[in-house]
Amino acid sequence: MSTLTPFHIAIPAYDLEASRRFYREVLGCSEGRSDTHWTDFNLYGHQLVIHYKPRPENEPVHHHNPVDGHDVPIPHYGVVLTWEVWHELEAKLRSLDIKFVIEPGIRFKGKPGEQATMFFFDPSGNALEFKAFRDIGQLFAV
């Protein structure tokens, strides 16, 4: 059996303090190393780095692809959680009045790859998706 290794992703942050608060307080990430223009976070065992980037004069338009009746924002990133942890995160996000781009729900119900999923944006407009599979063995089911 293989061991999953952590991924590394670096994303833009227009306001480092607002992004730090979001990842620390909303998503519960612990902070690692940081400098004046970036901060490392532990995102469920993966290395997420926010890097300062000046806000563009014109906000970028998010592209969307249709998936299972929803307009999924592209690009996006996130983590596959356990069923229980996903529901705990959903409850926390709702208690904090986080606005969902795609409301939490079940996709592909009754089909291979059935999953709970939700989409929302961070303070810099980066799209996040968190999901959980009822049967993690179907992560790559076709």
pLDDT (0 to 100) of residue 62: 82
Quickly name the fold that domain 8-54+69-138 has: 2,3-Dihydroxybiphenyl 1,2-Dioxygenase; domain 1 (3.10.180)
Which two structure tokens, joined as six digits, stand for 121?
């944006």
Distant-in-sequence, close-in-space partners of 57: CB < 8 Å, separation ≥ 6? none
The residue-averaged pLDDT of 19-23 equals 98
Confidence of residue 2 (pLDDT cuts 50, 70, 90): low
- Measured CA distances, 135 to 1, 45, 62, 79 (Å): 17, 21, 31, 15
pLDDT (0 to 100) of residue 58: 83
Q: Are 19 and 51 in contact (CB under 8 A)?
A: no
* Sign (positive or negative) of CA dihedral 99, 55, 79, 131: positive
Which two structure tokens, joined as six digits, stand for 103?
């409301």
The residue-averaged pLDDT of 10-25 equals 97
What is the pLDDT of the chain when averaged over all its residues?
Answer: 93
